[in-house]
Amino acid sequence: MLHMKKPDIRLDFKTYNAGVSALITIAILAGLILINLLINELELEADLTPKKLYSLSTQTETLLERLEKPVEILVLSTPGEESESLIKTLERYDNSSRYIDVRVLDPDRNPGRITRFTNEVSLISKGAVVVDSNDFFRVINPEDFYDFTYDQLGRQQIIAQKIEQQISAAIAYVSSGSTQKIYEIKGHQENPLAESGYTEILKRANFELGEISLILSAIPDDAALLTLIGPKLDISEAEATKLNSYLENGGKLFVALDLTYNPMPNTSGLLRKWDIEVLPGLVMEFQKNRLIAEFSDNPFIFSPTVLNHESLVPLIQGKLDPVFRGSMGYRRTQAQQKHLEYASLLASSDVSRLRTELTSEASSSATPISSDLQGPVDVAVAVRERDSGNHTSEGARLVVLGSASSLAGLGFLGPIRANTDLVTNLLSWITNNDSSVLIPSKSLYRLPLQISMVNGVVYSTITTIVIPLLCLGIGLVIHFHRRNR
């Protein structure tokens, strides 16, 4: 009887390690596939864009938390042709509140559905968004979601995205149904906000601009605040008395002045009653990093420091720096009335000066002279009335800026975004406007990488010579090491 010899199967060390390595590799790949499938099922997403283009700000999250009525957001577009950035942002709204319902509506197939919204504008273009609460609605055209500029050839370029800014402001409006009425004082050769392009800007913040003559009419009951922008002539004693009475009854006032040849005793006297002293003269900034290169570092044109104040939080968060030209200065009066809270909003640096001598030959000098007042100098201030008993805010609020001309723009630079945001934020603070949502646009501009000639040579040498030689050297070492084993 023949006995079959059992095969002697032995795994050497190399075979065993290879098998273990293969099993570990298979297990890792299977785990990665499983994790990937689970993540896809959970639909987890993270906004990794540098400017957080698809994330909602704290202001919007607070707005959505306070929402108490259904709001429908209709994207008027052919399904599948919607803007990707718009849809991704609106998905965040939809997921953040049970009262928000986002839908894509084809206007060609549903003409009857949009007839209700054509009363606001004669034509609603494709790509527009309608924010509707049944009681109120707002139409946002596609071009309103972006800030544009033009290059030297006249070609349009998108520089910033305003999707959240527009949608949140529309939700705030349709959920409250109210806009705040701003009356601009006229009759003193002013430069009102309406003539400086602020009508549409303030409309997005749920403000409406009107005008008033204090000589011809009383202050309307629906006035959320009054503005006095860049008057070249002084107000009369009667007007000053009327404004002071308005403030004593809890009124709100926004003032922006420019230095003029005409004396302004009544305007200055009104502000002095509210603890604000006007410093006649022009601020000169000598701190280099606050000057503007486009104006050849002119000390009269500078970027003041944004100070810590509740009205300026959006500017600080957005890293926006206003630019002032030919600014006057302010300080608190010696009276320092206990029921008034004085706050500095914008100020020049410690090395700045206030030029008070403007008639002598030395006044045009770009260097300090003996009559200059040492900085820092306040160029924007706020005052609010407080209850002396419980220290709560009540009654009048004032904001005064030292450069009215800067609000309209700076020469060839045009309107300064930080200046327009400054005005909108301050108006919202003055009126304590809950329906105003002030969200800065999100910049899409990318600064080009600046590399000097020396750095260029170094980097090119490293990438084209050093790294290839290093790889070659490592390869030769490994080769000879294996060959000698």
Average pLDDT over residues 284-303: 87
434 and 321 part of one domain: yes
336 and 422 part of one domain: yes
Give 166's contacts (C-beta < 8 A, 6+ positions apart): 129, 140, 144, 145, 204
Instruction: Report the distance separating Cα 368 and Cα 381, nearest Å.
Output: 25
Residue 328: pLDDT band with limits 50, 70, 90? very high
90 and 186 part of one domain: no
What are the backbone dihedrals phi and psi of residue 434, each rounded to the nearest 5 degrees, phi first?
A: -70, -25
Residue 54: pLDDT band with limits 50, 70, 90? low
How many domains does the structure of the chain reveal? 2
Instruction: Report the distance separating Cα 164 and Cα 240, nearest Å.
Output: 41
DSSP state of 7: P
Which range has the worst mean pLDDT, 48-62, 331-345, 371-385, 432-446? 432-446
Residue among 117, 209, 129 at smallest CA distance from 164: 129
Whether the pLDDT of residue 439 is over 50: the answer is yes
Q: Which amino acid is at 102?
A: V
Classify 465 as helix, strand or coil. helix
Residue 449: pLDDT band with limits 50, 70, 90? very low
- pLDDT tens for 142-181 read 887 877 665 556 666 677 778 888 888 888 888 877 778 9
Instruction: Report the distance separating Cα 380 and Cα 336, nearest Å.
Output: 17
Residue 484 lies in a domain: no
Average pLDDT over residues 126-130: 85
167 and 233 part of one domain: no
Residue 447: pLDDT band with limits 50, 70, 90? very low
Whether the pLDDT of residue 379 is over 80: the answer is yes
The most confident of 23-37, 53-67, 346-360, by mean pLDDT: 346-360
pLDDT given at position 41 = 65
Residue 221 lies in a domain: yes
Residue 256: pLDDT band with limits 50, 70, 90? very high
Give 287's contacts (C-beta < 8 A, 6+ positions apart): 349, 350, 351, 352
Max CA separation in the chain (angstroms): 135
pLDDT given at position 84 = 82
Average pLDDT over residues 396-413: 86
Average pLDDT over residues 122-131: 78
202 and 136 part of one domain: no
Residue 147 lies in a domain: yes
Whether the pLDDT of residue 448 is over 50: the answer is no
Residue 6 lies in a domain: no
pLDDT given at position 324 = 92
Q: Which of 117, 151, 177 is the last residue of a domain?
A: 177
192 and 299 part of one domain: yes
Residue 479 lies in a domain: no
What are the backbone dihedrals phi and psi of residue 94, each rounded to the nearest 5 degrees, phi first?
A: -60, -35
Whether the pLDDT of residue 125 is over 70: the answer is yes
pLDDT given at position 50 = 55
Residue 10 lies in a domain: no
Give 66's contacts (C-beta < 8 A, 6+ positions apart): none
In which domain, by residue range, is 58 found?
48-177
Helix 84-96 vs helix 58-66: crossing angle, to nearest 10: 50
- Cite the DSSP H helix spans in 97-236: 163-176, 199-204
CATH at 142? 3.40.30.10
Instruction: Report the distance separating Cα 237 and Cα 77, nearest Å.
Output: 58
52 and 138 part of one domain: yes
156 and 252 part of one domain: no
CATH at 376? 3.40.50.880
Helix 58-66 vs helix 163-176: crossing angle, to nearest 10: 20
Find out whether 339 and 388 touch, Cβ atoms under 8 Å.
Answer: yes
324 and 415 part of one domain: yes
Q: Which amino acid is at 389?
A: G
Q: Which of 177, 195, 210 is the last residue of a domain?
A: 177
Q: What is the mean pLDDT of the chain?
A: 81
Whether the pLDDT of residue 15 is over 80: the answer is no
Six-digit token string for 15: 């075979």
pLDDT given at position 233 = 93
pLDDT given at position 460 = 78
Find out whether 94 and 102 touch, Cβ atoms under 8 Å.
Answer: yes
Which range has the worst mean pLDDT, 41-45, 94-98, 137-141, 422-426? 41-45
Average pLDDT over residues 99-111: 84
Give 36's contacts (C-beta < 8 A, 6+ positions apart): none
Whether the pLDDT of residue 381 is over 80: the answer is yes
What are the backbone dihedrals phi and psi of residue 273, each rounded to the nearest 5 degrees, phi first?
A: -65, -20
Residue 384 lies in a domain: yes
pLDDT given at position 473 = 80
Pairing mode of beta strands 129-132, 146-150: unpaired
pLDDT given at position 459 = 76
Which range has the worst mean pLDDT, 127-131, 174-178, 370-374, 426-430? 174-178
167 and 270 part of one domain: no
Give 442's contacts (C-beta < 8 A, 6+ positions apart): 51, 52, 53, 160, 161, 162, 164
Instruction: Report the distance separating Cα 64 and Cα 93, nearest Å.
Output: 8
Whether the pLDDT of residue 10 is over 60: the answer is no
183 and 170 part of one domain: no
Q: Which of 177, 206, 238 is the last residue of a domain?
A: 177
Percent of the chain with pLDDT over 90: 25
315 and 379 part of one domain: yes
Average pLDDT over residues 432-440: 64
Residue 208 lies in a domain: yes
